[in-house]
Amino acid sequence: MPALNRLLRAGAASRPPVSAARWWLSSLASSEADARVSERLARRGLPARRDPGSRNVQWVFLGCPGVGKGTYASRLSQLLGVPHIATGDLVREELASSGPLAQPLADIVNQGKLVSDEIIINLLSKRLETGVAKGESGFILDGFPRTIRQAEILEGVTDIDLVVNLKLREDVLLAKCLGRRICSQCGGNFNVASIDIKGENGRPGIFMAPLLPPAQCMTKLVTRSDDTEEVVKERLRIYYEMNCAVSSSNLRKLNDEDEYQT
Ligand code: AMP
């Protein structure tokens, strides 16, 4: 969602008396249902808007499946002392439970489709609430938002300091998803793919060494059920589809914003 970066930058620019981006977003997110969802999210854990200097970082990592959001977000979260919250992990925890959502979620995830905004917001709200109860503050969100509505709801309830949108070419994304391994004991994420693409026609080469597990994890590696070639291709297709929707919607927003300012 590169457009979200521009959208958030536009929202952050000082444009008194009211940010046109926020005006546009709030007009879109003003349905009663969205207001209820935003309220739940805010009540359960997202801090109200505050001076960024007086709180921990609130960052968002976006990008295609397999691009490395989780790897970078988890390393940075350790350095910055903030939780790394991946909505994909929340979905997988729910899948592994014996709750009523487990089977319907498994069907959606194993087809490479997106889970509904309601379910995702609910899982995220609960996760934030648990974190706040444990004294957590700040966050690096990974894989959220993934739809325009999720972005609107997030933008409506708190401030985001930084959005990082990671990109990689599609053949590398596929290889990285197929090479992904998780240790069933410690939960560590690894990757056995060895990427070595020569630069050509002025384009730089890409070299990514495998991220191999330590010896004690080697025999306990498992593959995610949605990391098959067919499902990864469907996840990438949906990602590009949503990305285009956000880009064109953002262009509309920027045009509206220009009109609003004149
Ligand atoms: P991930 O680990 O980020 O690849 O997510 C795994 C799966 O969880 C996705 O393919 C979706 O089915 C679901 N999921 C994770 N995050 C979201 C989200 N923000 N919105 C909708 N579905 C999500």
State residue 166's pLDDT score.
95
Kindly state if the Cβ of 143 falls inside 6 Å of ligand 1: yes
What integer pLDDT is reported at residue 10 of this predicted model?
A: 36
In tens, the pLDDT along 205-257 reads 999 999 999 999 999 999 999 999 999 999 999 999 988 766 666 555 545 54
Ligand 1 center from residue 202 Cα (angstroms): 35
Atom 6 of ligand 1, residue of closest alpha carbon: 88
Residue 70 CB less than 6 A away from ligand 1: no
Q: In the numeric block, which tokens belong to residue 225?
A: 């059920």
CA–CA separation, 156 and 6 (whole Å): 16
CA separation, residue 160 to residues 38, 56, 61, 99 (Å): 15, 11, 11, 32
Does ligand 1 have an atom closer than 6 angstroms to the CB of 91? yes
How far is 71 from 166, CA to CA, in rounded Å? 12
Tokens of 135: 């004294």
Q: Is the CB of 63 under 6 A from ligand 1?
A: no
| Catalytic annotation, residues | 69, 146, 180, 224, 235
Q: DSSP H helical segments within the chain, as ranges?
A: 2-12, 20-28, 32-44, 69-80, 87-96, 102-109, 117-133, 148-157, 170-178, 229-261
Low-confidence ranges of the chain (pLDDT < 50): 1-30, 254, 257-262
DSSP designation for 203: B
